[in-house]
Structure 1
Amino acid sequence: MSKKVMVLLGTKKGAFILESDAARADWRLRGPYCETWPMNHVAADPATGAIYGAGGNEWFGPAVWKSTDHGESWSHSSQGLAYEPGQEPISTVWSLAAAHGRLYAGVQPAGLFVSDDGGESWSHIDGLQKHPSRPEWNPGGAGLILHSLVVDPQDAKRIWVGISSAGVFHTQDGGETWEPRNTGVRCDYFPEDQRYPEFGQCVHCLVMAPGGSGRLYQQNHCGMYRSDDGGRSWDSIEAGLPSSFGFPAATHPRDPETLFLVPLNGDIAGRYMPDAKAAVWRTRDGGASWSDQRQGLPQQNAFFNVLRQAMAVDALEPAGVYFGTGSGEVYASADEGGSFTRIAEHLPTISSVETLVVDA
């Protein structure tokens, strides 16, 4: 049966959807959706085909939007998306993850919620907020946000989260108890004798490799890392990259050794493409070596950035690679990064990119 590929975009002015067939040569843009709310993360549940959007701000409040017809119509709910009275109110939902029949949401200020009815209502997984380190968590540049959500596909009780800037935390019991998993990740902005704390790292993006090995990759404010033991320890894999600083990372859908990155030129040097020349950096050996993929990408005046959730792959063969920019462009590769084509432009700032492959 033929396939349809959808690239789901969260932007500062609503959700958009790009559509193509399996050849991924011609694209059609739909949107904006979600009443042009600021959308931090638009993602799909591949088990049901439902599309969800995480959004809101101090004016609108937090909400999760939902479409069960591939984006033609949407509804939203904020029922239960609130902390106890007296706590700082939730301003927005930052991240989503669908797994094992449940939907998880990471919010600002950092916390984790779960829905068992497809986003209609939510309950707080308060074990994370009860961690002893919670009073010492400090916000990153975008605030104190839970932006990365990784649920073990083989064990619903094993969850990893990335928080700016508290670090990576892990639960093995569905969220009742949590432990920091940051050993080996440095904090260049701490005093020299405190560069490797138990928590306090500014993780930018956390992703899991396929295959069930427990391998994780982390793009951090202070380097690029790999863990082969579920985050208990981390090793630097930034050698060969043009910068230790960046935001997004995307794993190959089948090969745990293949990873895609978009490094930026540094945290205080403008946060744009190194030398203003766009490239996606790819490893085929788990970070031991890197190559820059530039074909089809602008090689002059590329002063744009790519945000932490604005890169994704699809599940086709060969895998497609997609990223969206702060200046509203979307680039796509149908050959695992070998060459890229611009498939959208002049959109609002792109906060997230995800994919959904369905039967046409």
Structure 2
Amino acid sequence: MAQQVIVLVGTRKGAFLLASDSARRSWELRGPFCETWPTNHVVADSQSGTIYAGGGNEWFGPAVWKSTDLGASWSHSSQGLAYEAGQAPVKSVWSLAVAADGSLYAGVEPAGLFRSTDGGISWSHIDGLQKHPSRPEWNPGGAGLILHSLVPDPVDAKKIWVGISAAGVFATEDGGTTWEARNRGTRADFMPEGQNYPEFGQCVHCLVMAPGGGGRLYQQNHCGMYRSDDGGRNWASIEEGLPSSFGFPAAVHPRDPDGLYLIPLNGDIKGRFMPEGNAAVYRTRDAGANWEARRTGLPQGSAYFNVLRQAMATDTLEPAGVYFGTNAGGLYASNDEGESWDCVAPHLPTITSVETLVIER
């Protein structure tokens, strides 16, 4: 049976879908969908093929869009996507994830977590996260106080990790009733001297889980790149060999827990673009001990774009495909694990997220 790859793209002006066969040499672009709402994250349930898109803003309100026919038709719901009376209103949905039991989770702004057990029709607030003792001291990052990274355990539906800017990484092992801060070993260089390794308050940019079920996590942080081999309880820096300690996205290899891709920028106060204007994706095959820059096919000398925190992903084919989208609207794809690249959609709106879905046709 033939395989089809669908790249799911969130943008400031709706969702887009790009489809190709397993060779991934030519692509068909469809969209924009979701009535061109600001769309922060588009994901798919790999079991059912259902596509979900989360977004909104102060004007539209928050909502999750849904398509059960690969984008031919869409519906959306915001039922229950609201905090209790007296709390700040939910502005938008920032992240989505499907858990092992089929539940759908949504991370929102201001930072909080919601769950749907009916495919996104209705939502309930997981208030245990906001009951964490550190909550009154959470501060917004540059994009606001957002829950942007959602990492459910692939087997145990009660285990979830989240990344919040700028509060750090938190984890639950009881389905969201109680939460633990897991930031030991990650820096907060913006804190006063002597307080650079707090229990919470770090500005995590992206949190991803390695395949294989060994509890390995990677994170790109405002202040470095890190790996944890114990579910986030302890973190070790793996930024040596990179041109910068600052960047936003990270994407794991689909089968190799030692494989990781990321895109360093030139720094947090120097423009936040490709170092020296030369685009590169950095790849490690040994869990961050060594890094290599992959540039073939990427613009050199005039690449002053950024790649946002959810705008890079891999697919599950062999060899793995790697994809990233820029704030200038270019979507780049590699069908050979990052060795070479093509711009497959050059003129999209600002790209906020990139995910993939592989289906049998």
TM normalised by structure 2 equals 0.99
CA distance in 1, matches of 2:239, 2:272: 17
Structure 1 match to 2:163: 162
Aligned to 2:136, what secondary structure does the other structure show?
Answer: helix
The answer to whether 1:245 aligns with 2:246 is yes
Structure 2 match to 1:75: 75
Shift of 1:316: 0.3
Structure 1 match to 2:91: 91
The answer to whether 1:325 aligns with 2:317 is no
Matched residue type, 1:5: V
Structure 1 match to 2:47: 47
Q: How does 1:52-67 map to 2 (within 5 A)?
A: 52-67=52-67
CA distance in 2, matches of 1:89, 1:57: 11
Deviations 1:300-324 (A, max 9, x none): 1100000000000000000000000
Shift of 1:215: 0.2
Structure 2 match to 1:291: 292
Structure 1 match to 2:234: 233
Deviations 1:266-321 (A, max 9, x none): 00000000110000000000000000000000011100000000000000000000
Matched residue type, 1:176: T
CA distance in 2, matches of 1:139, 1:260: 27
CA distance in 1, matches of 2:4, 2:227: 33
Aligned to 2:35, what secondary structure does the other structure show?
Answer: helix
Structure 2 regions of 5+ residues with no counterpart? none
CA distance in 2, matches of 1:173, 1:6: 33
Aligned to 1:193, what secondary structure does the other structure show?
Answer: coil
CA distance in 2, matches of 1:347, 1:154: 36
CA distance in 2, matches of 1:62, 1:182: 29
Matched residue type, 1:201: Q
CA distance in 1, matches of 2:188, 2:231: 20
Matched residue type, 1:29: L
CA distance in 1, matches of 2:174, 2:271: 41
CA distance in 2, matches of 1:72, 1:238: 43
CA distance in 1, matches of 2:107, 2:295: 33
Deviations 1:96-119 (A, max 9, x none): 001221100000000000000000
Shift of 1:345: 1.0
Structure 2 match to 1:144: 145
Matched residue type, 1:214: G
Structure 2 match to 1:184: 185
CA distance in 2, matches of 1:145, 1:48: 28
Shift of 1:67: 0.2
Structure 1 match to 2:276: 275
Structure 2 match to 1:20: 20
CA distance in 2, matches of 1:171, 1:82: 22
Shift of 1:192: 1.3
Q: CA RMSD in A?
A: 0.4
Shift of 1:248: 0.2
Structure 2 match to 1:216: 217
CA distance in 1, matches of 2:43, 2:264: 23
Deviations 1:205-249 (A, max 9, x none): 000000000000000000000000000000000000000000000
Shift of 1:170: 0.5
Aligned to 2:234, what secondary structure does the other structure show?
Answer: coil
Aligned to 2:194, what secondary structure does the other structure show?
Answer: helix
Quote the sequence identity (%): 75
CA distance in 2, matches of 1:195, 1:327: 34
Deviations 1:72-109 (A, max 9, x none): 11000000000001100000000000122110000000
Aligned to 1:146, what secondary structure does the other structure show?
Answer: strand
CA distance in 1, matches of 2:195, 2:221: 17
Shift of 1:257: 0.3
Aligned to 2:65, what secondary structure does the other structure show?
Answer: strand
Structure 2 match to 1:3: 3
Deviations 1:138-188 (A, max 9, x none): 000000000000011121111100000000000010000001000000000
Matched residue type, 1:283: T
Aligned to 1:97, what secondary structure does the other structure show?
Answer: strand
Shift of 1:346: 1.0
Structure 1 match to 2:312: 311
Structure 1 regions of 5+ residues with no counterpart? none
